[in-house]
């Protein structure tokens, strides 16, 4: 897969640096901090096409904030080859990404305003200093949670000030920008650290969140699968919950839900005399034939055969 920016076509790598990442992101650069003495943040403002086909976003070690400057759009993300997860975003909303692997994006803007976003990467040393300043400097380093389409008034105020410095005729006062960057990093550590005071590798689903998600699925096993509700139970956005859940369990959430349904059906078939039709309804299948089809696919035999075995 290739991407285009400013009429240059490039094949994206799996991993790159903040400065190089812009070469692989779809859009036209309006202004960037390249060439400025901004040591701890790298900032670039893009204007995007209204409709963007899927493209690959390479991983970057530094955390990335994407802040919507103008317009609104339905933005979809997925792991390569996975399920698309959509978020509708408006001016002032943001994404916080700490992905160590590439992922895909696409979007469709709406409304009359151009769809413009600001990308801001924070250096690892800056985050470490911020963690030390608030007493959260665990030996393993700081880890930030993932956010898709979030809204944070204080964060937006700081990003707006940084944007103002970037587009200023003098291209910003360095001391002022450094102060804003430090304040921004401290805010992220205070409010978006995965577990304050404890080191945790990035992109690991905490056990408590996994248990809450599985418990929610078990309690709603007779209902249609709803990724948004399961992710909400775990306290994560659907996109980031989906990828972290799969990393933790080896299964996409929807696939895991089917396995829970079949496990419950097997229990009922073995331990009760409830009719197969009622069991199908109990585990969320309104059609007995559909239930039988899924059950045979998962177990290699029909429900009646499993009961007799």
Give the chain's residues under pLDDT 50. Answer: 1-10, 196-202
Domain of residue 136, residue span: 3-192
- Helical segments of the chain, H only: 18-21, 124-133, 153-167, 174-192, 207-219, 227-234, 238-249, 253-271, 276-282, 288-299, 303-308
CATH number (domain holding residue 145): 2.60.120.810
**Could you give the CA distance from residue 229 to residue 99 in angstroms, rounded to a whole number?**
23
Q: What is the pLDDT of residue 7?
A: 41
Q: What is the pLDDT of residue 13?
A: 65
Do 145 and 260 sit in the same domain of this protein? no
**Could you give the CA distance from residue 106 to residue 288 in angstroms, rounded to a whole number?**
38
Closest CA to 14 of 57, 62, 54, 66: 57
With beta carbons less than 8 A apart as the criterion, state whether 4 and 49 touch: no
What predicted TM-score, i.e. pTM, was given to this entire model? 0.66
Last residue of one domain, picked from the residues 168, 192, 216: 192
Closest CA to 188 of 235, 146, 232: 146
Can you give the length of the chain in residues?
Answer: 309
Task: Report pLDDT digits (tens) over 131-187.
Answer: 888 876 555 566 788 888 888 899 999 999 999 999 886 666 888 999 999 999 999
With beta carbons less than 8 A apart as the criterion, state whether 183 and 133 touch: no
Last residue of one domain, picked from the residues 192, 222, 240: 192
Q: Give the count of domains, the chain.
A: 2
Q: What is the pLDDT of residue 83?
A: 77
Q: What is the pLDDT of residue 194?
A: 67
Q: What is the pLDDT of residue 204?
A: 67
Q: What is the pLDDT of residue 141?
A: 60
Q: What is the pLDDT of residue 212?
A: 86
Is residue 201 in a domain?
no
CATH number (domain holding residue 243): 1.10.10.60
**DSSP one-letter code for 2:** -
Do 297 and 221 sit in the same domain of this protein? yes
């Amino acid at each position: 897969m290739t991407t285009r920016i400013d009429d240059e076509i490039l094949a994206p790598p799996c991993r790159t640096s903040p400065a190089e990442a812009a070469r692989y992101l779809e859009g036209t650069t309006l202004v960037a901090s390249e060439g400025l003495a901004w040591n701890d943040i790298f900032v670039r403002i893009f204007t995007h096409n209204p409709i963007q086909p899927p493209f690959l976003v390479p991983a970057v070690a530094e955390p990335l904030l994407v802040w919507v400057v103008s317009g609104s759009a339905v933005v979809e993300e997925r792991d390569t080859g996975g399920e698309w997860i959509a978020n509708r975003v408006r001016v002032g909303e943001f994404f916080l990404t700490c992905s160590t692997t590439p992922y895909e994006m696409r979007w469709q803007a709406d409304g009359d305003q151009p769809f413009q976003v600001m990308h801001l990467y924070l250096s690892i040393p800056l985050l470490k200093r911020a963690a030390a300043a608030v007493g959260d400097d665990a030996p393993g380093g700081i880890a930030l949670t993932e956010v898709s389409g979030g809204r944070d008034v204080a964060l937006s105020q700081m990003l707006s000030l940084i944007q103002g410095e970037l587009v200023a005729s003098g291209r910003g006062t360095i001391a002022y920008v450094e102060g804003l960057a430090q304040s921004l990093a401290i805010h992220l550590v205070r409010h978006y650290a995965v577990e304050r005071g404890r080191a945790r590798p990035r992109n690991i689903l905490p056990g408590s969140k996994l248990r809450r998600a599985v418990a929610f699925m078990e309690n709603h096993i007779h209902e249609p699968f709803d990724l948004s509700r399961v992710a909400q139970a775990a306290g994560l956005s659907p996109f980031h919950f989906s990828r972290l859940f799969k990393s933790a369990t080896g299964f996409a959430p929807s696939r895991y839900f089917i396995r829970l349904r079949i496990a419950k059906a097997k229990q009922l078939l073995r331990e009760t005399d409830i009719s197969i039709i009622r069991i199908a309804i109990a585990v969320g299948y309104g059609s007995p034939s559909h239930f039988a089809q899924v059950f045979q696919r998962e177990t290699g035999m029909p429900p009646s055969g499993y009961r007799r075995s």
